[in-house]
């Protein structure tokens, strides 16, 4: 009996612990504003199509595109088919999926447009049988968020659970404002009609497997969490490197720069995932509460000792993959004397018991040596070397790397003896790739985001208090970037295709090894 019990325990421990996609998703209408834009064609429609093919789209469901361009529903379907990738449209089920698509021409600031839209949605809801459930996805420029949210509220489209109506949810993309003051104004506008549980602030980085697995890695395994602190970790690096330049986004980027574009959202969220305390339970409220506590521990940029905590850069001409590329100031739409940073490295300190004295290096830049996003945990060197007589004092420290892009996986480097009679060490790796030996369906980031919204699951979405804490921390840094008298002296130029300004190239090259 004892042997049988042991074998049962072994089988149970070997079985995968999974939470499968529910098969009882509420039926709903999905309304996409900005339906003729790039985000809809590149991300949203392919994500919805893949969910449909895999059987993960609610049944029934209809998708309504809204845009300023005058189109019929048939023209909208054909337009999407021609713009989406050939792999997607070659699927035999495209026509079946396309039958779910509808289109409405809309003027974003015209009340009458929303009244007509409300009538159309009510009729479609009754026809299809979606129980009054509706998602509004704002795939539009940020300045239109408050306009559309306000008009939806005025038209009664934000209301839920009234007179038999189901739920209503609104999705907005980053940026959530351009500073603390504007973030608060946006929030006030959203809350004129929508309650906090109805608002889904997307950060697609949080839908990536490696990022979501950070919590499981830390809190479902006993071998790392006891060492996840200042006693064992030397520093942490979080890097989002791009090899592309500003491209066609110069109009936006000249106003945003590297800090607004990447730090307020993606990098601070990754920092929170890496550094937060263990939540009491695996729930959206508990996890987001711990992130908020972590963000409150950010040492202000203006605090003593933080004077050299920021390095700003801008790419000049160089080579990417052997091809000559222009500098930022030579890009179309960029001022020839622009002081907009395209690179930033920020040394962040956390004032709490776990992380006191451990620097966190947050890095993002354009036109760097390659596109690579990763989180690096650098452990401290061994405190004493019994091998000093044969190997000297230097023994490489352990390093844990979470790969986010191009390959999602985890790698642990450690020291091992070189085979043979001599006493020599080499650095070797233990590696794990998320999709290796995995045969199940793989959900892209936007598929997960949309599916979470359909389920009403806000765990991996921003909460407003977190948005405000991030801006509160970054506003003084943005003042240095944009308003200080010596902006020209603050900016360090670097060659496209390099690892950034020479002042930080050594550290960044080390992080990217």
In the block, tokens 């200080």 appear at: 484
Cα–Cα distance for residue pair 399/211, rounded to 1 Å: 17
Cα–Cα distance for residue pair 448/51, rounded to 1 Å: 9
365-402 core/surface letters (b: 16 or more CB in 10 A; e: else): bbbbbeebbbbbbbbeeeeeeeeeeeeeeeeebbbbbb
Among residues 191, 197, 266, 384, which one is catalytic?
Answer: 266
Q: Are 118 and 88 in contact (CB under 8 A)?
A: no
For residue 426, CA distances in Å to 377, 397, 402 come to 19, 11, 21
To 10 degrees, the CA torsion angle through 393, 396, 397, 398? Answer: -150
191 included as an active-site residue: no
State which H helix or E strand residue 11 sits in.
Answer: helix 2-14
Cα–Cα distance for residue pair 134/158, rounded to 1 Å: 9
Q: Are 169 and 101 in contact (CB under 8 A)?
A: no
Q: Are 284 and 452 in contact (CB under 8 A)?
A: no
The alpha carbons of the chain give a radius of gyration, in whole angstroms, of 25
Q: How many alpha carbons fall within 13 Å on the CB side of residue 163?
A: 4
Cα–Cα distance for residue pair 15/18, rounded to 1 Å: 9
Helix (H, G, I), strand (E, B) or coil at 347: strand
**The pair of three-digit structure tokens given for residue 76, joined into one six-digit string:** 């909208």
Q: Residue 302 CB: number of other CB atoms within 10 A?
A: 11
Secondary structure (DSSP) of 312-340: EEEEESEEETTEEE--GGGSTT--TT---
Task: Just list the catalytic residues.
Answer: 266
């Amino acid at each position: 009996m004892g042997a049988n019990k042991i074998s049962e325990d072994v089988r149970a421990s070997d079985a995968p612990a999974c939470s499968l996609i529910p098969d009882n998703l509420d039926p709903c209408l999905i309304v996409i504003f900005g339906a003729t834009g790039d985000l809809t064609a590149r991300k949203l429609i392919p994500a919805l199509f893949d969910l449909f093919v895999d059987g993960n789209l609610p049944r029934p469901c209809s998708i309504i595109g809204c845009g300023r361009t005058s189109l019929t529903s048939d023209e909208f379907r054909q337009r999407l088919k021609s713009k989406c990738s050939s792999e997607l449209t070659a699927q035999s089920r495209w026509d079946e999926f396309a039958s779910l698509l509808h289109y409405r021409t809309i003027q974003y600031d015209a009340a009458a447009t929303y009244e007509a839209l409300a009538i159309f949605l009510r009729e479609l809801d009754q026809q299809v049988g979606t129980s009054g459930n509706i998602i509004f996805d704002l795939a539009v420029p940020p300045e239109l968020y408050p306009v559309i949210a306000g008009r939806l509220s005025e038209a009664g489209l934000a209301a839920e659970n009234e007179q038999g109506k189901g739920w209503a949810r609104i999705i907005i993309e980053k940026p959530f404002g351009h500073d603390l003051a504007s973030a608060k104004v946006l929030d006030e506008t959203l809350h004129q009609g929508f309650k906090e549980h109805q608002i889904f602030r997307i950060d697609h980085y949080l839908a990536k497997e490696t990022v979501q697995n950070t919590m499981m890695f830390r809190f479902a395994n006993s071998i790392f969490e006891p060492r996840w602190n200042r006693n064992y970790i030397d520093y942490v690096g979080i890097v989002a490197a791009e090899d592309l330049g500003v491209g066609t986004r110069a109009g936006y980027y000249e106003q945003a720069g590297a800090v607004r574009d990447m730090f307020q959202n993606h990098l601070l969220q990754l920092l929170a995932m890496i550094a937060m305390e263990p939540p009491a339970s695996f729930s959206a409220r508990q996890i987001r509460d711990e992130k908020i506590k972590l963000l409150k521990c950010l040492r202000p940029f203006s605090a003593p000792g933080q004077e050299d905590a920021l390095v700003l850069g801008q790419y000049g001409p160089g080579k990417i993959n052997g091809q000559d590329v222009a500098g930022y100031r030579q890009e179309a739409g960029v001022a020839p004397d622009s002081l907009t940073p395209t690179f930033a490295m920020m040394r962040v300190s956390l004032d709490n018991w776990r992380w006191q004295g451990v620097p966190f290096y947050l890095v993002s830049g354009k036109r760097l040596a390659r596109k690579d996003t990763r989180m690096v945990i650098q452990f401290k060197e061994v405190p004493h070397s019994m091998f000093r007589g044969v190997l000297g004092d230097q023994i490489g420290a352990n390093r844990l790397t979470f790969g986010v892009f191009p390959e999602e996986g985890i790698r642990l480097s450690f020291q091992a003896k070189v085979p043979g009679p001599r006493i020599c060490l080499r650095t070797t790796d233990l590696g794990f790739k998320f999709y290796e030996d995995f045969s199940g369906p793989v959900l892209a980031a936007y598929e997960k985001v949309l599916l979470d919204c359909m389920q009403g699951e806000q765990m991996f979405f921003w909460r407003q208090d977190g948005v405000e804490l991030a801006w509160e921390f970054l506003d003084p840094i943005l003042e240095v970037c944009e308003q200080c008298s010596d902006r020209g002296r603050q900016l360090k130029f670097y060659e496209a295709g390099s690892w950034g300004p020479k002042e930080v190239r050594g550290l960044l090259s080390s992080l990217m090894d």
